[in-house]
Amino acid sequence: MSQQVASAQKFQVFSRGLALALSLGLSLAGAQNARQSTLVIGGDFSDLITLDPGVSYEFSGSLVAGNLYDTLVIYEGNDLKTLKPRLASSWTVTPTATGSRITFKLRDAKFSTGRPVTAADVIYSLTRVIALKTPSSFLLTDVANITAKSLSAPDARTVVMDIPKTANPNIVLALLTFNVGGVIDSTEAKAHEVKGDFGTAWLKDHSAGSGPFMLNRWDRSAQVALDVNPNAFRKSPNIKRVILRYMLESSAQQSSLNSGEIDVAWDYTPDAFKAAQSNPKLKTLKTDTFQLQYLGMNSSKGSPFEDPRVREAVRYALDQDGMIDSLLQGLGRKTQTIIPIGLAGSDPKIYYPYNLAKAKALLAAAGKPNGFSVDFLVSTGSCAGGVPCQDLAAKVQSDLAKIGIKANIRQMVNSELLTVYRAQKAELIQVAWSPDYPDADGNGTPLSDYAAKSLAWRNSWNNAAASKLAQSAAVETNSTKRLAQYGQLTALLAKEGPFAVLFQPYKPIVLQAGISGFNRNANGDVQFEKISKK
């Protein structure tokens, strides 16, 4: 590269950073230094629907919420087994005549508004989720089995949660680490209520939390801008602003990272990730995940997937090894059951080895010897492991065509795709899922229990035996018995469930060499306040 071209590129990057800073309200003098304290992440964030922690149930929403809002307890970094204090300085679990009581003592903390975090804010935040019946409400109502009456505040720094015998207190504490447990400034939310919506319309694109950052703006389909929260107890010493810039295509992320326009690329393709590993100007991170890339098959009456033999045929027809070896280039692991590798209860058994003859025989037994045609919903941008969703869909389409199933690909952005899926209107869908908290129940309940109105419900699959097993395993405290129950559950879903697991990916992330302190754990969390730039 000539010195003239290099200088032109540097000026272009500086100009973009200057324009960005000015657009966010900085003075000209402040704008000149803003790039050094601004972390810019390029990625496919098209699944963002809302930034309200009690409503958001998407990967990108959880990433943002974890930096805007604090929960009572948390898992720090890569230790996803040991609960740590966050807003709660301590907590105790005691048995009661009807179940268990969890008592939280709050630390001294303030919201971005300057108001203190109180027990009343905690109770408001949890009860609004129950009342609003959000996508994650089932975690409180169906898993924790609590109502508004379960919560009380003896004083401003104490929260008491009474849970029944039908809930496991360890699971309740774990689920409170998810953004559904994010604590909102109740005074601020109430000030923006419209027709009893608990401030949901306002919180969709505003923030009222105590996290290390607060929302500056969300320009839909363009960027999310976060500013450091001066009142936060989790301080960010180096990074004062974080920009999540929408870049759906890996190629755009690659060119922007190479030019210095962005600091972090969220969605490199396996090919590009392999090439980046030899670039001294970049850092590559092969991060672990609990994510599963899967096909959802709507089992409603009249659907071709109503017959379990058809669903089983699909599983036998999928060439998982080809996906992992060719498309992912090793950025994935083969698994076929609903609990991901790395969590107690994961089942390593291969239930359906690639077998086209078996798949065709199952279709014939189901009365569909010539196959059928079905709409296949697929996201734009990147899928798990950095594979372009279109490429993965083409592989699935090709595999299914070999047994006579014509999958007609319909691409749409993630936010639209999830809206269709949540309305039970997706016949066949390619999508990813990760547990809300690092426990087998984070997948067991949503994928198995129709009453939870999560993934089993979205695929119109109502199996009483699966629901009973999921509910029983969730509350079982004997680890041996619990593992046995999850063994029965995973086997049942592998045979009869509405899912075909494609693979469990690694998440490839590429950074500028000067970035330090960046860590993405298997749960998908990144603590922006711990990141610094040279």
pLDDT of res. 108 = 97
Q: How far apart are alpha carbons 140 and 132 in whole angstroms?
A: 12
Q: How far apart are alpha carbons 74 and 26 in whole angstroms?
A: 34
Q: Who's near 453: CB < 8 A, 6+ residues apart?
A: 138
Q: How far apart are alpha carbons 305 and 301 in whole angstroms?
A: 9
Distance of CA 206 to the CA centre of its chain: 20
The neighbour count for residue 473, using CB atoms within 10 Å, is 25
The DSSP string of 455-498 is HHHHTT---HHHHHHHHHHHH---HHHHHHHHHHHHHHHHHH-S
> To 10 degrees, the CA torsion angle through 332, 333, 339, 344?
-120
Hunting for tokens 């000539």 — which residue is that?
2
Hunting for tokens 């090919």 — which residue is that?
271
Token code pair at residue 71: 């929960």
pLDDT of res. 4 = 36
pTM: 0.88
Q: What is the pLDDT along the chain (534 residues), one digit of tens a residue?
A: 443 334 334 434 444 554 555 555 655 555 556 778 999 999 999 999 999 999 999 999 999 999 999 999 999 999 999 999 999 999 999 999 999 999 999 999 999 999 999 999 999 999 999 999 999 999 999 999 999 999 999 999 999 999 999 999 999 999 999 999 999 999 999 999 999 999 999 999 999 999 999 999 999 989 999 999 999 999 999 999 999 999 999 999 999 999 999 999 999 999 999 999 999 999 999 999 999 999 999 999 999 999 999 999 999 999 999 999 999 999 999 999 999 999 999 999 999 999 999 999 999 999 999 999 999 999 998 999 999 999 999 999 999 999 999 999 999 999 999 999 999 999 999 999 999 999 999 999 999 999 999 999 999 999 999 999 999 999 998 999 999 999 999 999 999 999 999 999 999 999 999 999 999 999 999 999 999 998
Closest by CA to 212, choosing from 67, 98, 103, is: 67
Token code pair at residue 298: 């709507």
pLDDT of res. 6 = 40
Hunting for tokens 């279709």 — which residue is that?
363
pLDDT of res. 502 = 98
φ/ψ region of 329 (left if φ > 0, alpha if ψ in -120 to 50, else beta) reads: left
| Beta carbons of 254 and 265 less than 8 angstroms apart | yes
| Beta carbons of 452 and 445 less than 8 angstroms apart | yes
